Structure 1
């Protein structure tokens, strides 16, 4: 479970929604097999990195390195969308959800779930690893900290595309636009340096309850 500053919840940016009138299926997938475009998540200013992420960087520097020669967004083709959804579903099935307390005896630890067990950030790290192995630029995939529907810290992986930013989440199999998850967005990894940037506590709506 992530530990984050609760006062960020009071900061609200304007809600970003997809155009009204779409069905749930239309909101998630356009006519050509990819999602309808939506507004990206804007970040501004530095943010303090989660302690457990900094610990991960000491143990596995490659997980935190930023290569500015890579693109910071990726073109969302039907083929890539299919891979994103498949990898999200596969990792959600493969990994046994377990708290860091039960797994490692510590409050928070970030790592690849090499033993088949992990919590939210471990799911996200594995999804990023597999997508990178499939050819997705590592720079376009950023670890992101949110406040979830239970008012708790939660980590997801955000993939930044030319059709908006989408969230890979161990809580659901549906890959949703960031602004349809119902989460409060606190911060994400920087795309210009090794570090984190603020998302300002942007609040979002949930379009549908989907798995």
Structure 2
């Protein structure tokens, strides 16, 4: 309890207020069956095979220390400010082209770069999961989920704030498997969840 209270206090101080989870939501996403890999990620894996392999056995989630939290926030903010948001069609003249951006890119490119930068800082591949969600208007979007000892947090190119997964306006669809970066799994919908189109 003392450790939990300390973490809550740190989250408050660091700018991520740990609100009480909405009914049916937990701090960790629940995943289910295997599902189809996004076509863009499939093509990415064809040219970046080393990024799409089974992950190393990883028993415990990333310990959310103050240092780890500051690194997560810094990577999210830095990438968001360094990379210009453009669509694949505008920048590459292609549809669903996933790649590491140099100066501009789409949402999935932001997520890929954040994942690579956090891995370079010592975060485990199994805790860095590209995630597909639906926005309020029903359109698709990609973010990076960071799995930690205190829950699943979201790094989003549309928001410099790092938030708990359930404290976002999205409907979570699927994400990379924690066991294999080339496989994807369904994210189970929380009990009592409301369709995205119905959220005001």
Which residue pairs with 2:99 in the alignment? Answer: 111
Deviation at 1:63, TM superposition (A): 2.0
Q: Say whether 1:54 aligns with 2:42.
A: yes
Q: Say whether 1:190 aligns with 2:172.
A: no
Q: Say whether 1:29 aligns with 2:11.
A: yes
Aligned pairs (5 A) from 1:126-137: 126-137=113-124
SS at match of 1:175: strand
Q: Does the aligned pair in 2 maintain the 1:47–1:197 contact within 8 Å?
A: yes
Deviation at 1:141, TM superposition (A): 0.5
Q: Does the aligned pair in 1 maintain the 2:152–2:165 contact within 8 Å?
A: yes
Q: Say whether 1:146 aligns with 2:133.
A: yes
**Farther off after superposition, 189-198 or 177-186:** 189-198
Deviation at 1:31, TM superposition (A): 5.5
Q: Say whether 1:199 aligns with 2:196.
A: no
**Structure 1 residues not aligned, in runs of 5+:** 1-25, 206-211
Q: Which TM-score applies when normalising by structure 2?
A: 0.82
Q: Say whether 1:95 aligns with 2:73.
A: no
Q: Does the aligned pair in 1 maintain the 2:16–2:163 contact within 8 Å?
A: no
Deviation at 1:185, TM superposition (A): 0.4
Q: Which TM-score applies when normalising by structure 1?
A: 0.78
SS at match of 2:97: coil
**Structure 2 residues not aligned, in runs of 5+:** 1-7, 20-25, 196-200
CA distance in 1: counterparts of 2:173 and 2:67, whole angstroms: 30
Moved over 3 A (4+): 30-38, 200-205
Deviation at 1:148, TM superposition (A): 1.0
What RMSD over aligned residues (CA atoms) do the two structures have, in Å?
2.4
CA distance in 2: counterparts of 1:104 and 1:28, whole angstroms: 42
CA distance in 2: counterparts of 1:71 and 1:33, whole angstroms: 28
Which residue pairs with 2:3 in the alignment? Answer: none
Count residues with an aligned counterpart: 179
Q: Specify which structure has the higher proportion of helix.
A: 2
Deviation at 1:149, TM superposition (A): 2.3
Q: Does the aligned pair in 2 maintain the 1:72–1:139 contact within 8 Å?
A: no
